[in-house]
């Protein structure tokens, strides 16, 4: 379904995955509210809400789609500010059809070393922030549904399945991988996925509510800063464009029936849109000759998902 003329609200969209999704939406003619904290250039990280909007406007002008951007400084922990940001988006751009919960904080210190402050920060931004944005956007999304505008909520969070969370699993996935991410971040991140599950149930038949997660580590500017030996390691990562390619296609699905899905970018692109090895390889930062099996997996990739990726690569 066409995204032309739709309005999207994206948190954390001044750079990285959020910005790539915003640009892909603009290419398809959607207006985008860029909601993030960064208004002044960061000494190490490129991009602000204003530079993001400039890119969106340039895309709209260049391809004639008419897409426009709206810069909104926002801390998703502030409930009043979230409501005002949603209201401003609707007041300025005329409607609201798409919400993308992308803003997230990460700290994977072991529980015995983690501070209460880091726990509160991650949970306030990740799970609570996702709920706040979804909560105040929902009346507008239901209005969008009543006007047959195909509304969606898409959250960047891990797959939520029984095998993912079962401590009795003996297939080599969880719970061992949770030791890498520790309790505070795990709770905050899966809180976002629980938001998807519950909201999908609440809005079934009206709003498409789904989660999307990358199979591999994604080479954002922030990743390159925090990762040791990033000049070498990034050759095993993928571009944020693979996530944006998957995201915009999810948003083109008919949300009334395509909901409560926990999607992995590569699996979705292969099975639903016929992406080939050659197309998928284009996203590798190490070059398209990089063997797929040598890429670095992202967090929360269970053995079940690993096996499903291999099946998708075989065309199954």
Angle, alpha carbons 99-16-229 (nearest 5°): 145
Cα separation, 242 vs 274, whole angstroms: 14
Cβ neighbors of 114 (< 8 A, separation 6 or more) are: 107, 182, 183, 184
Give the tens place of pLDDT for each residue, 149-183. Answer: 999 999 999 999 877 777 655 555 566 778 889 99
Cβ neighbors of 116 (< 8 A, separation 6 or more) are: none
Return mean pLDDT, the chain.
93
Q: Are 294 and 237 in contact (CB under 8 A)?
A: no
pLDDT reported for residue 232:
83
Q: Are 32 and 25 in contact (CB under 8 A)?
A: yes
Give the tens place of pLDDT for each residue, 136-148. Answer: 999 999 999 999 9
Cβ neighbors of 90 (< 8 A, separation 6 or more) are: 7, 96, 140
Q: Provide the H-helix boundaries in 152-296.
A: 162-165, 178-202, 221-226, 230-233, 241-251, 265-273, 277-281
pTM: 0.95
**Range from 33-42, 75-84, 92-101 carrying the lowest mean pLDDT:** 33-42
* Torsion, Cα of 139, 79, 208, 216 (10° steps): 170
State percent of the chain over pLDDT 90.
Answer: 82
3-class DSSP state of 216: strand
| φ, ψ of residue 80 in degrees (nearest 5) | -65, -40
- What is the DSSP code (8-state) at residue 30? -
Cα separation, 193 vs 260, whole angstroms: 10
Give catalytic residue positions: 185
Cβ neighbors of 43 (< 8 A, separation 6 or more) are: none
| φ, ψ of residue 315 in degrees (nearest 5) | 85, 20
When pLDDT is averaged across residues 123-144 and rounded to a whole number, the result is 98
pLDDT reported for residue 303:
85
pLDDT over 80 (residue 99): yes
Give the tens place of pLDDT for each residue, 183-227. Answer: 999 999 999 999 999 999 999 999 999 999 999 999 987 787 777
């Amino acid at each position: 379904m066409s995204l032309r003329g739709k309005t999207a609200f994206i948190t954390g969209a001044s750079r990285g995955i959020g910005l790539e999704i915003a640009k892909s939406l603009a290419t398809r003619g959607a207006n985008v509210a860029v909601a993030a904290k960064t208004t002044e250039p960061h000494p190490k990280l490129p991009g602000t809400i204003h530079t993001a909007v400039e890119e969106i406007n340039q895309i709209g002008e260049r391809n004639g789609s008419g897409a426009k951007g709206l810069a909104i400084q926002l801390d998703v922990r502030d409930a009043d500010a979230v409501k005002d940001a949603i209201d401003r988006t609707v007041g300025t751009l005329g409607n609201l059809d798409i919400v993308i919960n992308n803003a997230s904080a990460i700290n994977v210190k072991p529980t015995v070393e983690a501070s209460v402050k880091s726990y509160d920060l991650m949970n306030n931004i990740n799970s609570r922030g996702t709920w706040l944005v979804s909560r105040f956007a929902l009346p507008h999304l239901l209005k969008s549904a009543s006007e047959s505008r195909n509304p969606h909520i898409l959250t960047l969070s891990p797959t939520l399945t029984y095998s993912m969370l079962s401590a009795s699993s003996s297939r080599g996935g969880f719970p061992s991988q949770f030791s890498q991410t520790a309790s505070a971040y795990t709770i905050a991140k899966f809180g976002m996925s629980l938001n998807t599950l519950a909201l999908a149930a609440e809005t079934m038949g009206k709003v498409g509510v789904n989660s999307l997660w990358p199979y591999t580590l994604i080479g954002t500017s922030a990743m390159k800063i925090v990762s040791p030996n990033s000049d070498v390691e990034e050759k095993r990562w993928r571009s944020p464009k693979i996530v944006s390619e998957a995201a915009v296609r999810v948003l083109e699905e008919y949300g009334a029936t395509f909901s409560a899905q926990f999607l992995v970018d590569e699996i979705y692109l292969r099975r639903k849109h016929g992406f080939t090895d050659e197309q998928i390889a284009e996203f590798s930062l190490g070059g398209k000759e990089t063997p797929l099996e040598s890429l670095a997996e992202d967090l929360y990739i269970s053995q079940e998902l690993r096996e499903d990726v291999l099946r998708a690569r075989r065309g199954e």
